[in-house]
């Protein structure tokens, strides 16, 4: 958003991980000016549009891939968007179809990345199916905020991860652009100006979830700093789910204290708005008394891995009884035993499954460095909290 704004921005408390580096490098490849220092980004708008073709790589980042495809439509030259092999298997068709409706040319033989995109946007109205990812909506809103004609997004079918759309709308408002919620979907009226901002980036609720999970399984107490109690991120309410499992929490200004005696109780819960902590919950359910059922998670099949079947299969390796279907996981609590865990090139698989080690000896994580996608210091931070890891051949 700040890259395509009309005035400079300064962002602080910016973490450094592979996804963010992919975004910085990719946006620079499109002529946007971004300077990085420690935990800060200085972002300066482009002086003029691209005047020659460009090629960038989004690597493994689903968020950046979706957003930059829409942003590429703001330019009137060919922009080649490449990605990792894993990202090349993830859904893009719904976004490409919407961009085509808006007059943007998208060349992709299989309606996935890699793709060749050429703008400009010629029309202001499209329809999009966000049943597999809300990022399609967010991408269109961010690009639409820079269109003189604005944009109208007609929603088709059910939308998942609505809280992330709410986040997009919130931050667009901070940059001076109002998004109207309409019966048909969303609308940005013509003639709005997208201004730069200076702001502190809130802490990530999903990253915090692993430390809640650790203390929930092992028992004890942990204080999580930089916790945004006002966050629109759905996962910021994960602690309320864990309260139902028997944990207790104390809210402090800018912090959250999690406490547990290590005794968890199974629950039935709808996790449609908290997709990125489902695996954390699934691992915790292995140690809960009773059978936990996690519902409304069909969209998890289209993440970095199939987080329904792959999560189930890895937990089954530890001796836990797991049932699963198109939109649910059902996990019977028990006593997991040692196992070698595949990560499927999925950072959240590695981070969540590592929590098994809080009460189970001999949990081996294959390709642990996959955490660099979002949380490069994960193993070090977990070590500070008592969950030690040792590299093995």
Q: Are residues 209 and 333 in the same domain?
A: yes
Position 393 pLDDT exceeds 70: no
Q: What is the mean pLDDT of residues 233-257?
A: 97
Q: Are residues 74 and 168 in the same domain?
A: yes
Q: Are residues 189 and 248 in the same domain?
A: no
Rounded Cα gap, residues 130 and 94, in angstroms = 7
Domain boundary among 135, 168, 200: 200
Q: Is the peptide bond before 114 cis (omega within 30 degrees of 0)?
A: yes
Concatenating the DSSP letter of every residue in 197-229 gives -EEEPPPPHHHHHHHHHHHHHH-EEEEEES--T
Domain-located, residue 128: yes
Is residue 302 within 8 A of residue 278, CB to CB? The reply is no
35 vs 390, higher pLDDT: 35
- For this structure, is 228 an active site residue? no
Is residue 217 within 8 A of residue 358, CB to CB? The reply is yes
Q: Are residues 29 and 93 in the same domain?
A: yes
pLDDT, tens digit, 9 for 90 and up, residues 85-130: 999 999 999 999 999 999 999 999 999 999 999 999 999 999 999 9
What is the predicted pLDDT for the residue at 8?
A: 98
Q: Are residues 244 and 99 in the same domain?
A: no
- Band (pLDDT 50/70/90 cuts) for residue 378 is very high
Q: Are residues 128 and 223 in the same domain?
A: no
Residue 270 dihedral angles phi and psi, to the nearest 5°: -90, 120
Is residue 145 within 8 A of residue 194, CB to CB? The reply is yes
Rounded Cα gap, residues 322 and 88, in angstroms = 30
Instruction: Output the six-digit token pair for 94.
Output: 């719904």
- Band (pLDDT 50/70/90 cuts) for residue 148 is very high
Sign of the torsion formed by the C-alpha atoms of 368, 372, 374 and 380: positive
What is the predicted pLDDT for the residue at 389?
A: 85
Q: Are residues 125 and 63 in the same domain?
A: yes
- Band (pLDDT 50/70/90 cuts) for residue 299 is very high
What is the predicted pLDDT for the residue at 97?
A: 98
Which helix (H) or strand (E) segment holds residue 172: the answer is helix 162-174
pLDDT, tens digit, 9 for 90 and up, residues 45-82: 898 899 999 999 999 999 999 999 999 999 999 999 99
Report the mean per-residue pLDDT for the chain: 96
Helix, strand, or coil (residue 40): strand
Which helix (H) or strand (E) segment holds residue 142: the answer is helix 135-144
Domain boundary among 158, 179, 200: 200
Q: Are residues 181 and 215 in the same domain?
A: no
19, 276, 310, 346: the active-site residue: 276
Domain-located, residue 254: yes
Write the CATH number for 349. Answer: 3.65.10.10
Domain-located, residue 2: no
Domain-located, residue 390: no
Task: Compute and round to an integer the Cα radius of gyration of the chain.
Answer: 21
Q: What is the total count of domains within the chain? A: 2
Q: Are residues 134 and 275 in the same domain?
A: no
- Band (pLDDT 50/70/90 cuts) for residue 248 is very high
Domain enclosing residue 93, as ranges: 9-200
Q: Are residues 215 and 346 in the same domain?
A: yes
Instruction: Output the six-digit token pair for 290.
Output: 């009773």
Is residue 132 within 8 A of residue 103, CB to CB? The reply is no
- Burial class from Cβ neighbours inside 10 Å (0-12, 13-18, 19+) for residue 142 reads buried
| Cβ contacts of 393 within 8 Å, gap of 6 or more | none
């Amino acid at each position: 958003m700040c890259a395509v704004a009309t005035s400079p921005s300064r962002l602080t408390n910016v973490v450094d991980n592979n996804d963010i580096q992919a975004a910085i490098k990719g946006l620079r490849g499109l002529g946007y000016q971004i300077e990085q220092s420690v935990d800060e980004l200085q972002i300066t708008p482009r002086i003029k549009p691209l005047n020659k073709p460009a090629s960038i790589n989004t690597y493994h980042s689903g968020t950046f891939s979706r957003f930059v495809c829409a942003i590429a439509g703001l330019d009137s030259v060919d922009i080649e968007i490449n990605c990792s092999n894993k990202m090349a298997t993830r859904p893009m068709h719904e976004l490409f179809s919407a961009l085509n409706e808006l007059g943007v040319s998208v060349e992709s033989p299989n309606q996935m990345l890699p793709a060749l995109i050429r703008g400009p946007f010629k029309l202001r109205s499209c329809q999009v199916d966000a049943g597999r990812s809300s990022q399609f909506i967010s991408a269109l809103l961010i690009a639409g905020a820079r269109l003189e004609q604005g944009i109208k997004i007609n929603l088709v079918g059910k939308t998942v991860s609505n809280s992330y759309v709410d986040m997009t709308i919130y931050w667009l408002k901070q940059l001076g652009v109002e998004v109207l919620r309409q019966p048909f979907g969303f609308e940005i009226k013509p003639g709005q100006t997208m201004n730069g901002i200076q702001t502190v980036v809130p802490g990530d609720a999903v990253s915090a979830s692993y430390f809640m999970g650790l203390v929930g399984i092992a028992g004890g107490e942990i204080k999580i700093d930089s916790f945004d109690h006002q966050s629109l991120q759905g996962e910021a309410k994960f602690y309320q789910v864990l309260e139902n499992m028997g944990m207790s929490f104390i809210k402090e200004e800018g912090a959250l204290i999690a406490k547990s005696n290590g005794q968890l109780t199974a629950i039935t819960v709808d996790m449609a708005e908290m997709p990125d902590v489902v695996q954390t919950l699934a691992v915790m359910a292995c140690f809960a008394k009773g059978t936990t059922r996690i519902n409304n998670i069909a969209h998890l099949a289209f993440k970095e891995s199939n987080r329904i079947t792959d999560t189930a299969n890895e937990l089954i390796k530890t001796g836990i009884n797991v049932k699963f279907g198109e939109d649910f996981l059902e996990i019977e609590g028990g006593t997991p035993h040692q196992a070698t865990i595949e990560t499927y090139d999925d950072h959240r698989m590695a981070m969540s499954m590592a929590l098994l080690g809080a009460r189970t000896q001999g949990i081996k994580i294959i390709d642990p460095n996959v955490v660099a996608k979002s949380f490069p210091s994960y193993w070090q931070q977990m070590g500070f909290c008592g969950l030690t890891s040792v590299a093995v051949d």
